[in-house]
Structure 1
Amino acid sequence: MSVTLEIPDEVSQAMRVPPPELEARLRLELTVALYAQQVLSLGKAAQLAGLSRFEMNSVLARRSVPMHYSAQELAEDLAYARSC
């Protein structure tokens, strides 16, 4: 699935994010917000952000976003650990 977001020039300039970094930054901000709202699991947030689970976990920790650890996430993490 592909989603396109149009941002007015004055808004993108006010964000003070270099244009080459804008898409990745917006993607990361979206994943952090969706994870914090319990819309995405850690694994899916990491996938959407283009990060490893470890990297995503570090981003969330730096931003003091509480971990949401469900039984399903535990099962996913165990399956991942066993596959390594």
Structure 2
Amino acid sequence: MNLAFEIDPGVFASVRHDPDEFVRELRLAAAVKWYELERISQGRAAEIAGLSRAEFISALGDFGVTPFQQTGDEILADIKMLDRWLGSGGG
């Protein structure tokens, strides 16, 4: 599928990108933001950005976005649940 929209040529000068670079950056920025908002998975975001998953994870750092979609509290809750499960002989 091809998506087209008009952009004032001055935009390219203001972001110091040629049109191809602008499109790549736009795709990456959209993918990062949608991932950050938990609207898409890492795999889908990488696909939208035109990157491998490893490249996308690396790019997340450039945007200051964590590659983890769980909060610290959620991770701690998972650890506590696992600890209870292992303590009850579940493992």
Shorter-chain TM-score above 0.5: yes
User: How many residues were matched structurally?
Assistant: 69
Secondary structure, in 3 states, of the residue corresponding to 1:68?
Answer: coil
Q: Are positions 1:68 and 2:63 aligned together?
A: no
Q: Are positions 1:46 and 2:46 aligned together?
A: yes
- Counterpart CA distance in 2 for 1:26 and 1:52 is 17
| Structure 1 unaligned regions, length at least 5 | 70-84
Equivalent residues in 2 for 1:1-80, closer than 5 Å: 1-66=1-66, 67-68=68-69
Secondary structure, in 3 states, of the residue corresponding to 1:2?
Answer: coil
Q: Which runs of 4+ in 1 moved over 6 A?
A: none
Quick check: which has more Rg, 1 or 2?
Answer: 2
The TM-score, its normalising length taken from structure 1, stands at 0.69
Q: CA RMSD in A?
A: 1.6
| Structure 2 unaligned regions, length at least 5 | 71-91
- Counterpart CA distance in 1 for 2:44 and 2:6 is 24
